[in-house]
Structure 1
Amino acid sequence: MSAKIIGVEQDQQFSDDDKDQKVDINSLDYDSLAEIFMLLSIPERIDMEKVCVKWKGACQRAWYDTKKYKCESSIERSYNNQHINLSLYMDFSESYETTTDKVLYTIFSTCKNLKHLDIARGPYDVAKIPLKKWINLQNLQYLAIPCIITPDLASTIVQYCKNLKGLRIHSLHQIMNDAALKKLTELENLECLSLLGCVILKEESIIAISNNCKKLKRLDIPSGSIYDDPPSSPSVFDEISKLQYLEHLNLYSVRSLKKSTIIAIANNCKNLKSLEIADCKAITEKALVALTKLENLQKLDVSFLDITDSFISKLKGLKELDCAHCKKLTEAGIIQFIKNNPDLEEISVDEILGCNEVPFAVLDELSKLQYLEHLNLCGLLNLRSGTITAIANNCKYLKSLRIRGCSPITETALVALTELENLEKLDVSFLDITDSFISKLKGLKAFQCTHCKKLTNDGIIQLIKNNPDLKRIDVRCIDNITYNDLVNAANQAVKNRTNGVILHIKISIPLTIQASETIIKSQWLVVE
């Protein structure tokens, strides 16, 4: 939006002679201007400050009331300043780096009411922000940053962000600074700590987290390891069991994890709802049986572990189980598990049994799970149309369904899926579907239809029109589609969206993506 005069219709009844009458935006007070500027993207808001003194003051009020900011490689606008995404499609060029650093500097300088700051990895450097600017983020409750945490930065965060409840660090250096991490454990209100990026920790860091972060409800250290591996103390991870309020624990692929840790967690962390210990190969099935004592456990990831039917048949009360590549599991064990856990919300059959054909008895049991929300049946060559119909009839809470490459399914059976009122994500790639089917779909937020050869521009555009909340659609490798025309039609279809939802169309054709830059006039469309 250029910095030209913006007109706002008067909030009153007009006669036929003056229905086009407008009000000069400069006649509005500061609060009204601030409400308008809140709807602008961040770079546009920065540009607005250059117009005049009054607009600068109004923009500063808009910044001051910002509550949540998420910086990522997408283009979104803020509504009521509850959620703002960086309005840049990042290509990692120097000019984008300069602009993005400027946006971050503006956020740190002006958003004094900010409660949620989420900065994804990208062409910017949080370390460039002067430490003294952190004083403006004293109301911050959640922080996610990709950077190397130094002791000085850690001390600054602890000093100014005393209300911080959630902290996610994507380390750009594999070895986490021990002094910095131990300093961060002084955040007394911390409830969520995520250390991402295959971090290497010292034993003292694990002990500091366990001793100091008493309120911690979530701890993520996926692919983490100890600096001296194997650790000098085999039970250093046992210290985690001291966190008695822990509800979510992610120790994915922590090779140093021993059976003693699992037993200690099962005995002490009685509030645990989610546990991810995939690829922790040192854990024995005998130790895993202790987890059956956790009455609140709802989600369990034991992928790549050496487990048998004997273990999973003891599991009850789960809503999600991931046991991909557990080679010893059989049809009988899976069926018993499904029967013991009627409230299952998510399951992936192709990964559980690791084959292209799943026994019909297993599929029949799956179709009876009335609380199922997420189901992955990709690549099953024996999936029958009757199973799809049964799923549509019984699984009324289903939100996500992946049936890519399940070639035996007919379009007639797929039409039954249109009765699923909660369905938001659907993957029908490689299936023999037509415009007639997809034009019946409504309420979707994500749709994948790659290699669906019979689809045309008309069908895709009708789908976009029927699904105003659609965020992503994958239309790669469809011969009947003329992609330049599709982009042009999609631009028209989304230009009047008022829900703030941006549509991302994935085509993966460099020339068309480049050409789309001149075609797209709507702020609600991105071609990838």
Structure 2
Amino acid sequence: MHDLLREMALKIIHPQFMVKAGMALEELLEEDEWRDDLLKVSLMNNNIREIPSSMSSPKCPMLTTLLLSNNNITTIPDAFFNHMRGLKILDLSNNYKLDRLPRSVSKLENLTTLLLENCKFLKEVPSLSNLRGLRKLNLYGTSIEELPQGLFMLTNLKYLWLGGSLSDIPDGLLRNLSKLQCLGVDGTIPLKGEEIGRLRKLESLDGRLSTLDDMSLFVKSERKFLNQYTIFVGSYSPRDYSLENETISNVVKSIVCCHIDICEVPNWLPSDAQGFYIKDCKDVRSLDDISGFQEATDLRHCTVDGCDGLEFVVSSRCLKPLQNLESLYLYNLKKLNAVVGVVEAIAKSAPLPAGTFSFLQKIEVVGCEKIKKLLPLRLLWYLQNLQTIKVRHCVQMEEIIWSEYEGEKALEKLTLPKLERVILQYLPALKSIYSCSTIVLICDSLKRIEIRGCQEIESVFWRGFNPLPTLEHLDLCYLMNLKSVFDEEILGLSARPTNLFSLKKIFVKWCPKLKKVFSSGWLLGYFQSLETIAVDSCAQMEEVISSSTYEEKEALEKITLPKLQRLELSRLPELKSIC
């Protein structure tokens, strides 16, 4: 609803409400607008810069709610709240330049909610000792260096967020705030597991524990009451938090371990954890080395980054915790040679446990310099929910999907029914996505393939792997040995299309050995949905569409591309014709 209409509607509904939110106001209300019968005032999302020091305190004894968030307020006169003794909710959050609160805040004895989140320059908060009814206090994103006086006395607090430049939390403070239901503490401030464990009414926790011993103490306490938690263990940096936030921020219960040995302490991983992120933990060889990992059967998202000792994610004997896993991110793992240590089980034709990776939707592998092959064919039978495969900067990666029992089961089909995207970037040793000719791989939902910087790859498609019926976007770039894109022999196509493909866009750039995009003119009969063809910087490109024989020329005369909108050809020195 338009702001003006909303304001009018609220006045009609309740004349004691004043709402002027999002109206680009630069000044506070005039003194005569602060009526003594006002109950609620909202001036949020404006551009109010200051409250004049000459302004007397508004006489609003009935005012219960004052919302001033998302303005540019720099100062508030000390006496501003003197005549607002009935105020219960005060929201000053996101006033970045506000550096101090007025002393009159200390007189708001009926206040239940005080929100100061992201007041980045705020360093001074007056005593809160008189605010005995305060239930919600948010100081996250401020610059306070000391806790406000009287915080120990706020025994009715249920919600507390602390941040700023605090170095620690005084002993006994949290124990005194026994009614806390939600506790959030900036990662720079360490918490003690024993004190957290004593907060029996706690339902939500965001914070950092310094050591695994603290984490173990917390896990041993009765923590089943927690509905949500994000717990850092170890050292902390803003970069660590941003990575965690990017990958598992939507997880309800997550553990983040950074720069710490995680295999030494027993029983520290909560069994109900849904997100698990470990960064720069050098002692871990596989996740099943971690005490408690076997019991963490509710894991949904897992990220492993910079753990130099990791050789595989899990062994074949420890797949149970991954049965509910939805996403797996593997970054900068120098010794990683397999996603799952199941090679020995496959070689013996031993079946994997039922449900292995059955909920996995996304796998991303980046900067793992030792791994050569990503997904064994035997594992693919279980990946029925896989949607995205993304692999980047793995210098020895040769094959994405591989089979060690070639020829064992002729003409058998394997389906990845939900796979939508395959992104492969800067894999200099990559030779194929999938090359098992005896088992047909069906990906009937695949919409996008992007291959960049893979110098050894010669062909995009192979016998046994033809996702063209559903593919919509094909992006090929910096493929120095690419010789074939659409080849009728490899794809097993005939001159009479029996079905049409969905491809809409094809981009080909810096493929110096590629001489043609379509090996035969009649192939275009399959591509009636094409909207864009772009070819750039292919030094040996002679024809976009081959039409060397009389039959091909005749076929081209009968073919139309009804949806083609863009044809871009640039820096093709050997190009003789389009078709």
| TM interval, short-chain normalised | 0.3 to 0.5
* TM-score (normalizing by structure 1): 0.47
Structure of higher CA gyration radius? 2
- Greater relative CO (CA pairs within 8 A, separation 6+): 1
Judging by fraction of residues, say which structure has more helix: 1
Judging by fraction of residues, say which structure has more strand: 2
* TM-score (normalizing by structure 2): 0.44
